[in-house]
């Protein structure tokens, strides 16, 4: 068998990965992440023959990225892609062992910040809202927190889908990280969603400021979707930090929305319908808070129906 360099094998491997994407086995964003690592981050390792790859060379590669200031998250991703790439090289006989196994544990990386999958209390969510309110990405964060839509659905929402007078929007599409416009995640993903009064006020203000410059509610064109997602994540991370709350991802806003409604005892079928879940079991999987604490229920009601909350003004008609 001809000796191949890591770079040459990486290109062959990516061709196979694209076939998996075409079959629907891998998502577009996963494939793009693999391609970015193979093409841009293998560095000097790309010129090394697979049979000559040794642990010291991989450690030097990883430590070089640490010295360059690469974040822990990016480091872990790059090592993970290398490990999968070399694992598949073993599968076709180019390697006998995988020198990238347990590579991350051999590095003294800074401890990752604590990440939570949902707000652990409505009070914590309220502090984050107070920190984020009025910021440059507040419209997107409020849309996800108060409706439970996914980040791709929020970025795919157009003004023609929104009826501010009826306090209603319709989710018709989502935008992938690469900017592809497609249908929502599941068959039940295309759905109407209720807009609480506080969110209607936020959207009215955003519409007045944006005018007719963009048909997209968040003002992010599909071609710039990746940057739009990054800004939303950064804004949420900054708000969490300012509020003294553990880091939360945008998808955690969806988890929190479903949990708060479960906490208030809203009918599970209504939650399922607005969340766009195909089954009640999936909605139950997203419900994390229990109704055992009456104060927590009151706090959740204040956050979800903030007509009487000191953090928000009343909506125009006070009906939702």
Using CA of residue 182, residue 184, residue 186, residue 187, what is the dihedral sign?
negative
In tens, the pLDDT along 144-156 reads: 988 999 999 999 9
pTM over 0.85: no
Least confident of 149-153, 157-161, 227-231, 269-273: 269-273
Q: CA distances (Å), 269 to each of 204, 278, 282, in order?
A: 29, 11, 11
Answer yes or no: is pLDDT of 297 > 60: no
Task: Quote the pLDDT of residue 315.
Answer: 36
Share of the chain above pLDDT 70, in %: 83
Q: CA distances (Å), 311 to each of 56, 140, 176, in order?
A: 55, 18, 33
Of 168, 149, 129, 167, nearest in space to 318 by CA: 167
Contacting residues for 193 by C-beta, under 8 A, at least 6 apart: 147, 148, 149, 168, 169, 170, 171, 274
What is the band of 46 on the pLDDT scale with cuts at 50, 70, 90? very high
Question: How far is residue 178's CA from residue 223's CA, in Å, rounded to a whole number?
Answer: 8
In tens, the pLDDT along 127-149 reads: 898 899 888 899 999 999 889 99
- How confident is the model over 273-293, as a mean pLDDT? 68
Question: How far is residue 308's CA from residue 298's CA, in Å, rounded to a whole number?
Answer: 11
């Amino acid at each position: 068998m001809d000796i191949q360099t890591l770079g040459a094998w990486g290109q062959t491997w990516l061709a196979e990965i694209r076939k998996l994407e075409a079959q629907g086995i891998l998502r577009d964003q996963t494939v793009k992440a693999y391609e970015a690592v193979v093409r841009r981050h293998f560095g000097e390792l790309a010129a090394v023959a697979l049979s000559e790859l040794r642990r010291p060379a991989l450690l030097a590669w990883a430590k070089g990225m640490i010295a360059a200031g690469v974040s822990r998250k990016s480091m872990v991703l790059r090592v993970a892609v290398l490990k999968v790439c070399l694992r598949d090289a073993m599968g076709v006989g180019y390697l006998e062992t995988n020198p990238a196994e347990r590579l991350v544990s051999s590095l003294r990386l800074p401890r990752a910040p604590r990440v939570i999958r949902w707000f652990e209390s409505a009070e914590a969510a309220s502090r984050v809202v107070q920190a984020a309110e009025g910021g440059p990405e507040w419209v997107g964060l409020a849309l996800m927190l108060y409706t439970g839509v996914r980040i791709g659905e929020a970025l795919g929402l157009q003004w023609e889908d929104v009826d501010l007078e009826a306090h209603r929007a319709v989710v018709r599409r989502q935008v992938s990280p690469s900017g592809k416009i497609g249908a929502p995640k599941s068959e039940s993903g295309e759905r109407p969603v209720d807009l609480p009064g506080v969110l209607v006020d936020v959207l009215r203000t955003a519409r007045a400021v944006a005018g007719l410059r963009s048909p997209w509610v968040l003002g992010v064109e599909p071609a710039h979707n990746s940057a739009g997602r990054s800004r939303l994540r950064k804004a949420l991370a900054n708000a969490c930090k300012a509020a003294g709350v553990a880091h939360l991802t945008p998808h955690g806003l969806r988890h929190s929305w479903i949990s708060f409604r479960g906490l208030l005892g809203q009918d599970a079928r209504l939650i399922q319908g607005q969340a766009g879940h195909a089954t009640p079991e999936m909605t139950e999987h997203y419900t994390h808070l229990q109704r055992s604490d009456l104060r927590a229920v009151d706090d959740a009601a204040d956050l979800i129906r903030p007509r009487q909350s000191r953090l928000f003004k009343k909506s125009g008609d006070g009906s939702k």
